[in-house]
């Protein structure tokens, strides 16, 4: 079984069959973004997951895929998530708390312009396929000021900002504070 097939099976075992799968090409890599509709198995959000990032291993030998949970659904995220996946395949290492400046709005009509990656084990367990260990990271959408707060004061300060402001960071329609 190919690594991509193993990742697809891992997703389907946990979340069921996807509502949609969109293929993307990035350089030499073929990437797919799969979407699952809101359900208890997806944590109550629409879930968008990469498949193809894990063909790349970083300097530490780590392979990853990215999961983005949004409520309400926001299919406009597909292209930006595919762009992010393309940078991973081209050699960008994924770290817990890492921020990804996407160079502008994630889609037309939003001010969200960054992704942040958070290591997780609660949504989906790691996958071991052959000699490859795949970790699954949450991708969180950020405004520029949130990325700056995280860079200047750390991840805990950003989380505190969200708690104090009761920020629904999974809501793609949210507006910047203040």
Would you say residue 9 lies in a domain?
yes
Would you say residue 173 lies in a domain?
no
91-146 tens-digit pLDDT: 888 999 999 999 999 999 999 999 999 998 788 999 998 888 999 999 999 999 99
* CA distances to 101, 106, 112 from 151, in Å: 12, 20, 16
pTM to 2 decimal places: 0.95
Would you say residue 136 lies in a domain?
yes
Would you say residue 71 lies in a domain?
yes
Would you say residue 176 lies in a domain?
no
Q: Is 30 exposed, middle or buried (0-12, 13-18, 19+ CB in 10 A)?
A: middle
Would you say residue 110 lies in a domain?
yes
Domain range holding 53?
3-164
Q: Are residues 48 and 40 in contact, defined by beta-carbon separation less than 8 angstroms?
A: no
For residue 27, pLDDT over 70 is answered with: no
41-55 tens-digit pLDDT: 998 999 999 999 998
Would you say residue 8 lies in a domain?
yes
- The predicted pLDDT at position 174 comes to 95
- The predicted pLDDT at position 15 comes to 96
133-171 tens-digit pLDDT: 999 999 999 999 999 999 999 999 999 999 999 999 999
Would you say residue 174 lies in a domain?
no
Structural domain total, the chain: 1
- The predicted pLDDT at position 89 comes to 87
């Amino acid at each position: 079984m190919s690594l991509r097939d193993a990742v697809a099976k891992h997703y389907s075992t946990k979340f069921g069959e996807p509502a949609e799968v969109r293929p993307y090409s990035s350089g030499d890599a073929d990437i797919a973004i799969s979407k699952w509709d809101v359900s208890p198995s997806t944590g109550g959000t629409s879930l968008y997951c990469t498949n193809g990032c894990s063909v790349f291993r970083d300097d530490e030998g780590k392979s990853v895929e990215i999961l983005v949970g949004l409520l309400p659904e926001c299919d406009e995220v597909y292209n930006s998530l595919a762009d992010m996946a393309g940078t991973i395949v081209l050699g960008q290492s994924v770290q817990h708390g890492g921020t990804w400046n996407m160079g502008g709005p994630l889609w037309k009509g939003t001010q969200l312009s960054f992704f942040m990656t958070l290591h997780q084990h609660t949504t989906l367990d790691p996958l071991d396929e052959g000699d490859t260990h795949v970790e699954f990271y949450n991708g969180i959408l950020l405004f520029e000021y949130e990325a700056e707060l995280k860079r200047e004061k750390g991840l805990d300060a950003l989380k505190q900002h969200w708690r104090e402001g009761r920020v629904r960071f999974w809501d793609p329609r949210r507006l910047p504070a203040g």
